[in-house]
């Protein structure tokens, strides 16, 4: 395990030898009491939030209502507001290909927020208990990795090579790709790529590119780059285009994103999106 402290939050990440392709994990421990609020922007992963606090420390807000406890957020459509009392949380980010196999759900999870029990059934409570009882983050990461590896062995991702290639090309290009060009590259029509990609990964190639591009731009803003430079580096037509996209996806301006504290944590917890 490697660790880092930001403000009143400790961040732990697993050692390289316990990591799985298409999976990223980070452990968070809030050091002080009282409620905190964390806002998370859209990113190209499905995220499991495993509440390891006693009595359910995590509270999330969706559709104007608040719910407590572990949950799954599928390819976030905008800003997810979550917070709660002092405690611990394990977050697991899954690439879309791995998520459909590990979670045993269809692509309908895209953009949705569900309780862990709704997705994993009785395994949810057993998993939480095992993770909560483990005394160290190293042990928790190992438990979670073993569980995910077993699920992947039972139901490996059924992704066609062409779809996988388009996904990896889109990630590598930071979302700066043309769907028509990718279709030609894999020898498919645009319609066929659109249909197969959505059926197997849960979102369209255009939506995938948009999420990856915006995720890249948001982290460049957080790193201190001017919006006009970020727009050019991320493939937006101009600074106004980036501003409109930020407002559409998150309701925030690029200037607000640049100072977002959760993006500072991301640099340590999530140095890169899951690749598989």
Q: What is the pLDDT of residues 212-242, one digit of tens each?
A: 899 889 889 988 899 999 999 999 999 999 9
| Tokens 């899951």 sit on residue | 274
- Is 225 part of a structural domain of the chain? yes
pTM for the model stands at 0.81
Range of the domain at 12: 2-154
Which of 70-74, 77-81, 137-141 has the highest mean predicted lDDT (pLDDT)? 137-141
pLDDT at 70 (0 to 100): 79
pLDDT at 197 (0 to 100): 92
User: Could you tell me the pLDDT band of residue 107, with boundaries at 50, 70 and 90?
Assistant: very low
DSSP E strand stretches across the chain: 2-6, 9-13, 23-30, 36-40, 46-51, 58-62, 65-68, 71-73, 80-84, 88-94, 113-115
- Is 149 part of a structural domain of the chain? yes
Residue 41 DSSP symbol: -
Read off the CATH number of the domain in which 224 is found. 1.10.10.60
Residues 95 and 13 in one domain: yes
Beta carbons of 25 and 144 less than 8 angstroms apart: yes
Report d(CA 144, CA 128) in Å as an integer.
Answer: 10
Helix (H) or strand (E) holding 82: strand 80-84
Beta carbons of 147 and 120 less than 8 angstroms apart: no
CA-to-CA separations, 260 to 29, 70, 84, in angstroms, rounded: 19, 24, 18
Q: Report helix angle 123-133 to 137-154, nearest 10.
A: 150
Percent share of the chain, pLDDT over 70: 75
- Is 76 part of a structural domain of the chain? yes
Domain count, the chain: 2
Listed residues 101, 125, 154: the one ending a domain: 154
191 vs 53, more confident:
191
């Amino acid at each position: 395990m490697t660790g880092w402290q930001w403000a009143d939050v400790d961040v732990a990440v697993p050692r390289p030898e316990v990591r799985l392709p298409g999976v990223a994990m980070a452990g968070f421990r809030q050091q002080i009491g009282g409620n905190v609020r964390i806002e998370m922007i859209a990113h190209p992963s499905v995220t499991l939030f495993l509440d390891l606090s006693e009595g359910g420390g995590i509270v999330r807000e969706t559709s104007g209502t608040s719910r407590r406890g572990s949950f799954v957020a599928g390819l976030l459509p905008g800003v997810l507001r979550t917070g709660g009392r002092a405690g611990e949380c394990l977050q697991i980010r899954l690439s879309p290909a791995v998520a459909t196999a590990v979670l045993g759900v269809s692509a309908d999870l895209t953009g949705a927020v569900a309780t862990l029990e709704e997705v994993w059934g009785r395994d949810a409570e057993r998993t939480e208990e095992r993770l909560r009882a483990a005394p160290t983050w190293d042990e928790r990461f190992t438990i979670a990795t073993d569980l995910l590896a077993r699920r992947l062995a039972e139901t490996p991702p059924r992704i066609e090579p062409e779809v996988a290639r388009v996904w990896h090309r889109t990630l590598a290009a930071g979302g700066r790709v043309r769907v028509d060009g990718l279709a030609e590259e894999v020898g498919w029509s645009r319609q066929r790529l659109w249909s197969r990609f959505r059926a197997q990964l849960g979102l369209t190639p255009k939506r995938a590119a948009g999420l990856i591009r915006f995720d890249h731009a948001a982290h460049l803003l957080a790193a201190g780059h001017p919006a006009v430079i970020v727009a050019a580096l991320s493939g937006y037509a101009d600074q106004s285009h980036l501003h409109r996209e930020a407002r559409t996806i998150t309701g925030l301006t690029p200037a607000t994103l640049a100072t977002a504290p959760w993006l500072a944590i991301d640099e340590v917890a999530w140095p890169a999106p899951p690749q598989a």
